[in-house]
Amino acid sequence: MLKRIILFCAALIAVFGLSACGTTSQSVAVEKKILLVAGKPSHGPGDHEFNAGCMLLAKCLNETPGIKATVAKGGWPADESAFDGIDAVFFYMDGGPGHPVAKPDHIKKVRELAAKGVGIGFGHYAVEVVPGEPGDAWKEWIGGHYEDQYVKTAQGWKFKRREYIPMKFERRAPAAGGAAPAAATAASAAGAPQASKATPKPAASQVKALTAQDYLDIRALASQYAYGLDSGADNGTGSVYANVFAEDAEFHGPPATPGGTPFNAVGRSELRKFAVPGRGTAYVRHFMTNHLIEASPEGARGKVYLLVIDIAREERPTSVNMGGHYEDVYVRTAEGWRIKSRNFYRSKSAQTVAAEAAAASPAR
């Protein structure tokens, strides 16, 4: 549990582009406010300690200059002014039919926060909600949710049925007159990757359903990707990393530094260069999580979070290098599932995207 809490703190910090450790005494211009909402106690001491868990999270976060974390104990805040001026909110609580956030007025409040660009997060059983408006809302906020049925057995309560309801990928139609949406304009101006080819939306009958094994095989690509990239595995040739991709795969991303050149790699020979040889199997830097997968006409599409952590060595402290996500297309090949195309997007708040769009618009 402590390891998960530390990784979650690192992820929150990455979202705001701050160093997790070793930050100097230089002042931070903008303080980011994070509200941690702890559910009401539901188990005995030492089990499902929502209040204590949020207090520990807050302590970790508040050790980083530029972040101010506060805790609301005992469920949904009685005084909703606790949400005023926050940049992110994390709900750590029980879920199901009695989910504190699943009440209509509370869903409305969280939707208002999300519309303002506030980051929304859920932990533990807080990801579990009932179908209907709560389920739809969770898909908007975090990409998906579980819908469960429980039964009481001789061994205690058990799952009878669990269904994961994923967020659906939707293609947005161009704005009137064929103009690209403002967010897309901002992304282009910032050097964000662009899809290599537009694929017409197919009829539902053209999409082949994925099996449980398909999901497992595709998720394994994320682990092989991170391991191969960090270790340069296969005698330092980078073959483990490159072989995660199809022979003619494409990988696009924004510049490594502001004002730089976006990177575009095509084919395994170019991709192999990203896996630095000589680091060895003990080197760890890339952490992949929150992998969403759905069937598509190509085979499958997915989205996976990336957190890059530079682990402390010698006199250099541990720090969060960056965070973001990949958007992928997967295809079946003679070698098994492979990545056909991958686009990387750095983490950005809605406010940043809006500011970039405004900056990219011609002056009137």
Answer yes or no: is pLDDT of 363 > 70: no
Q: What percent of the chain has pLDDT over 90?
A: 30
Q: How many CB atoms lie within 10 A of CB 210?
A: 18
Query: 243-268: per-residue pLDDT in tens?
Result: 999 999 999 998 877 777 888 899 98
Question: What confidence score (pLDDT) does residue 23 get?
Answer: 41
What's the pLDDT band for 358 if we cut at 50, 70, 90? confident
Please name the helix (run of DSSP H) or strand (run of DSSP E) that holds residue 277, with its range, or none.
Answer: none
Q: Mean pLDDT lowest for which of 32-36, 212-216, 359-363?
A: 359-363
pLDDT of residue 295 exceeding 70 = yes
Q: How confident is the model at residue 5 (pLDDT cuts 50, 70, 90)?
A: low
SS3 (DSSP) at 19: coil
More confident residue, 28 or 278: 278
pLDDT at 350: 72
Q: Compare 101 and 7 and report the one with higher pLDDT.
A: 101
DSSP 135-193: HHHHHHHHSEEEEEEEEEETTEEEEEEEEEEEPPP-PPPPPGGGPPPHHHHHHHHTT--
Name the more confident of 287 and 25: 287
- Residue 236 confidence class, pLDDT cut points 50, 70, 90: low
* Confidence at 30, pLDDT banded by 50, 70, 90: low
Which is higher by pLDDT, 113 or 22? 113
| Buried b or exposed e, range 287-298, using 16+ CB within 10 angstroms | bbeebbbbbbee
The structure tokens listed for 97 are 């039919």
pLDDT tens readout for residues 298-331: 999 999 999 998 888 777 888 888 899 999 999 9
Q: At residue 191, does pLDDT exceed 70?
A: no
Over residues 92-118, the mean pLDDT reads: 90
3-state secondary structure of 40: coil
pLDDT band (50, 70, 90) for residue 112: very high
Looking at residue 128, the DSSP 8-state letter turns out to be B
Confidence of residue 113 (pLDDT cuts 50, 70, 90): very high
**CB half-sphere exposure, 81, CA atoms < 13 A:** 1
Q: What is the mean pLDDT of residues 194-220?
A: 70
Relative orientation angle of helices 104-115 and 133-142, to the nearest 10 degrees: 20
- Give me the domains of the chain, ranges plus CATH numbers: 2-21+29-166 (3.40.50), 203-347 (3.10.450.50)
Question: In degrees, to the nearest 5, what angle opens at C-alpha 129 toward C-alphas 128 and 132?
Answer: 150
Chain mean pLDDT for the chain: 77
Backbone φ and ψ of 354, nearest 5°: -65, -40
| Position 204 pLDDT exceeds 70 | no
